[in-house]
Amino acid sequence: MSEHILNICYLVASVTFILGLKMLSNPASARKGNLVAAGGMSIAIFATIFLYRNAETGEHLHNFGWIFCGLIIGGIAGTLAAKKVKMTAMPEMVSLFNGMGGACAALISLVEFNHLSKELALNPGSEFIASSQSTVLIIVLGLIIGSVSFAGSMIAWGKLNGKIKDFSFTGQNVLNLVFLLVALVLGAYLVTNPLHANFIYIIFILALLYGVLFVMPIGGADMPVVISLLNSFTGVAAAFGGFLYNNKVMLTGGILVGAAGTLLTILMCKAMNRSLKNVLVGSFGGNKNAVATGAGAQGNYKEITLSDAAMLMSYANKVMIVPGYGLAVAQAQHTCHELEKILAEKGVEVKYAIHPVAGRMPGHMNVLLAEADVNYEKLEEMEQANDEFKTTDVVLILGANDVVNPAAKTDPASPIYGMPILEVEQAKTIIVNKRSMKPGYAGIENNLFFQPKTSMLFGDAKKVLQDLCTEIKTV
């Protein structure tokens, strides 16, 4: 009876995963979708704890003290981390949590292989070895993918919070391939000869080294793609765990995460007009020392006063706001929303132009603005925004750099050439808020800042927006 109830719980949980993922595609329903999926996961976890029974021995789970102790510690740590994290630190938190998923998948593989190797030691016959090969294959694949995801996510976490710098050397890609190929060859050998138990640890170490070296040279605007790719790795590794335990809900969840992460990675590469191979092998932004950062070679820029900016925006018919990482750093999303409301009261049409890879992770700007209760209907995706810039009086760029860089269209020598951008230069007037004239995250100079219709408004985004709100109220 308990087995049937468990299967029903798994079915319900699987449905909630699918519904939750569907709801996450719309910011208006994303919060509810997250809760729906979390509810389904809770059902699956507690159903497993209390209803699961070993098919061979008929035993239920025990050691409830250890199980609930782990749940409580992990639950408290996760809740505190999620509540305290700043929006600017959200990408590294996503990387950290994703890495924990990869680590779990890798540890599951190590533990289960240890159990299997003990059984093989007691039953070294060829028939038992042959029957165990499919299990060993699943274990090896889960170990390699989970380890790569864990190590890569930890490096991505360190790079995003500035603790780890971009690092590469001549022949690194070749060395990466050597590590991966050796791990795969050893894995194939272990599948056919599972009695060589020590090979599993060599594979584990090689996969970790590959994960580190795989992400280490990647930097700049490529990091959102890497985060998405690593997320898909964790999902695939979890799916192998579902195969290993014949757990339907674990399999479903892993497939959904793996498929969603893969599709998102492909879409982001398309948005950047680059292949995944080009992102992983020829990343831009990893070597900022090679990029000129001075303004002398580009020309002169002009500044605009707060009062002039307030006047332009107050008497405009349409204002488009382009949010970037600078907005997140300043925690200025609420002030930005206040500016939008003040302008709307004056009869100005205000919309937001969102680039797919703005910020440090997929959907970073959408999450940022949703936190400030910005109406989702005011958010324009890149294609829609580019159609509207021609009829826009003022574009206000808040900390965005690479996603508005005309070099992507005009300079074949630029590393970002061919990447679709927000074509803000089509608007009548462009106001750029930055702390300084330093290049963006990709380390590439932006000629937009030196064009005649562009004016610079230097300062912290939150302070500038607060002052703008005050000025506009007096106009």
Q: What is the CATH number of the domain that holds 383?
A: 3.40.50.1220
Specify whether 281 is located in the same domain as 312: no
Is 405 domain-assigned? Answer: yes
Choose one of 263, 290, 317: the last residue of a domain: 290
Specify whether 112 is located in the same domain as 256: yes
What residues make up the domain containing 236?
89-290
Q: Are 432 and 285 in contact (CB under 8 A)?
A: no
389 backbone φψ class: left, alpha, beta (φ>0; ψ -120 to 50): alpha
The pLDDT of residue 220: 61
- Which residue in 66, 70, 64 sits closest to 49, CA to CA? 64
Q: Which helix (H) or strand (E) holds 373?
A: none
Contact residues for 115 (Cβ-Cβ < 8 A; gap 6+): none
Q: Of residues 402, 411, 460, 467, which has the active-site annotation?
A: 402
Looking up tokens 């319900």, which residue turns up?
Answer: 12
Is 69 domain-assigned? Answer: no
Specify whether 141 is located in the same domain as 123: yes
The pLDDT of residue 218: 80
Tokens describing residue 310: 């307030």
**Residue 402 DSSP one-character state:** G
Using alpha carbons, list the distances in angstroms from residue 329 to 8, 87, 180, 332.
Answer: 45, 8, 37, 8
Choose one of 248, 271, 290: the last residue of a domain: 290
- Structural domain tally of the chain? 2
Specify whether 164 is located in the same domain as 238: yes
Is 23 domain-assigned? Answer: no
CA dihedral 440, 444, 445, 447 (to 10 degrees): -100
Instruction: Tell me the pLDDT of the chain (475 aa) as tens digits.
Output: 678 899 999 999 999 999 998 888 777 788 899 999 999 999 999 999 998 887 667 788 888 999 999 999 999 999 998 888 876 677 888 899 999 999 999 999 999 999 998 888 887 777 777 888 999 999 999 999 999 999 999 999 998 887 888 777 888 888 989 999 999 999 999 999 888 889 999 999 999 999 999 898 886 667 778 888 999 999 999 999 999 988 889 999 999 999 999 988 888 787 666 677 766 665 544 444 444 433 334 568 899 999 999 999 999 999 999 999 888 888 899 999 999 999 999 999 999 999 887 877 767 888 888 888 898 889 998 899 999 999 999 999 998 888 898 988 888 887 777 788 899 999 999 999 998 877 665 567 888 999 999 999 999 999 999 999 999 998 8
Is 33 domain-assigned? Answer: no
Specify whether 303 is located in the same domain as 267: no
Q: At what angle do helices 248-271 and 2-23 cross, to 10 degrees?
A: 10
- Specify whether 222 is catalytic: no
Specify whether 318 is located in the same domain as 462: yes
pTM confidence score: 0.79
Q: Note the Cα 233 to chain centre separation in Å.
A: 12
- Which residue in 222, 362, 213 sits closest to 285, CA to CA? 222
Is 71 domain-assigned? Answer: no
Distance CA 148, CA 150 (A): 6
Distance CA 276, CA 281 (A): 8
SS3 (DSSP) at 362: coil
Using alpha carbons, list the distances in angstroms from residue 407 to 258, 272, 302, 403.
Answer: 34, 13, 20, 10
Specify whether 118 is located in the same domain as 259: yes
Specify whether 267 is located in the same domain as 406: no
Distance CA 20, CA 376 (A): 18
